Chains A and B, each alone.
Chain A
Amino acid sequence: MTEKVATRDAYGRALLELGRRQDKIVVLDADLSKSTKTALFAEEFPLRFFNVGVSEADMIGTAAGLATSGYIPFASSFGVFAAGRAYDQVRNSIAYTRLNVKIAATHSGITVGEDGASHQTLEDIALMRVLPNMIVIVPADGGQTYQVVETAAAYEGPVYIRLGRPKVPGVVPHDTPFILGRAQVLREGTDLAIVAAGYMVAPALEGAAELQKEGINAAVINMHTIKPLDVELLVHMARKTGAVVTAEEHSIIGGLGGAVAECLSEEYPVPVVKVGVKDTFGESGSPEKLLHKYGLTAGHLVEAGRTALQKKGQM
């Protein structure tokens, strides 16, 4: 396994490299540039960096205005503010207008840790994915984040990129291309498919290895693009395995689990067991303790895998 890297750190560096190659890239932040890592870009390109202060709604609107004039703005804040505080601005000034704005939201999910519930967005995937025209991407590791930043810049239209605070291990093999809307099978399996995103991809791989010891052969899919969802691969895996577990650092309502369940209920109904935060707010604590308390570890995925198999037997 390679060195651990936080996806926000990879974002900061990717943005800097992108900025060196493309002079239409501009970056906005709302007084969190040291945490979102846009400070790297700001230092090298002060004229293409706009700190609007603590005003996320204004940041989103300003980004929209820059996009109308041919710039490619990356607007960053914590997910809870970028998606939540500025929701109407994202909806009306970016999604409805189909403007070429990239929202790179860091500190998503429960792994924000000690700052507690006010800062842990567990609903941003749901909020963003319901907006027409919005692409929603959750990179699984540092290397993938690089690819996602490149892909988002090349794509014409609004993109929400969900990034995390803690360091995560490399999970996607280096030579794997990133294709928008094409999920990645990181581990083949026949008994059940664990569909994971972001931080939860690593525990999904661990969980699958555990299940193997029990003789259960679980596939692991990195569903990096939540919208548009890779329906083809999902249906293929559901058909092949007959049972699905979803894993995300987000509410079990409306996120990856919701998207997978919506899709399979229409296309190929199989039991779907959702691992995520169970319709509750988070709290302060270390990321590790929080992941345990809120049911987001490899162990919880193993349990969910067993449950899914039981349900499959009953169907």
Chain B
Amino acid sequence: MKNAMIRLVGIGKHFGEIVALDGVSAEIRESEFFSLLGPSGCGKTTLLRMIAGFDEPSTGEIYIDGKSMDGVPPNRRPTNMVFQNYAIFPHLNVADNVAYGLRAQRQAKDEIRGQVSETLEMVGMAGFENRQSHALSGGQRQRVALARALILKPKVLLLDEPLSALDRQLREQMQTELRHLQRAVGITFVFVTHDQEEALTMSDRIAVLFDGKVAQLDSPIELYRRPANKRVGEFIGVMNFLRANLISEFPGGYEVDVEGLGRVAVSMRQAPGGASASRLLAGIRPEMLTLVFDDADSSENYAKGEVVDTQYLGDMTYYEIALDGAGKTVTLSMRNTAGRPILAPGTGAKVRWTPESVLLLN
């Protein structure tokens, strides 16, 4: 495993009465694309600004590359930041913006010019040296902000919701480009976003932040498959929650009674938090349930119900299904493969599940 590039140890931050961060601990690895994901106001920007050195933590300590950052000002930290509004210097042209940090290091003019055009080329802005900054589009400003930070070859690049101001198409294009860029330069990226899809597609690992606390820190796959609690499960993708009661514990798992499904034997692996509470929740992703169209299907694990709503999306169809004996409907998604019928609301439905479909949450 790679070394820790950033170590956050029990970071707390309060602004007067407001607690913005509360005991955040995490390790961000070298050359990793790390995302801070959470709803607006959960403390992402605050944490990023403390890593950059614009704010001091109220409690706890930050280490970057093994060194404590206590009292180290932003201009002496091996980090650079891409601001949410890009903060392009309006009175300087593109080349002067990008060269801004290098000029502080008193390098030769030719050397600087070479590096500027090299970096601009890397972010897809070759030939834009003399463009005035007010004549740049949103996407171009973003690239200039990236170039301006990357030219200094920081150990860590901090990005605060850099894509949120862009329109959808450009945003998706920049997601891919940013990911490629990060792989190419091998710099640790700490990327702040409130968009779970963005975080899932781009990151090596994600820390989900709720109310100033880390709710879960995992790879995108683990986060999606095994969210630590209901709130994380809801925040990332769609998840159905059915009430469940513990029947018994057996070696390697739990036997539970799930409303609408009946008895399910859940393996330990699908119950990351154990089954301590008496009232449990069964979390099921829409694609973990399948409609059975073939009456001859002999599998045992199925539930009966009725289609309440059908949402046809071209490649996929989403169904709302009222399971017999369940208090609320479940969402189920089916890929529209050749010859597969689409069920209309009101039709009876047979839903198949497997024990692996179910995640047991407290």
A and B bound?
A: no
Binding site for A on B (CB under 8 A): none
Binding site for B on A (CB under 8 A): none
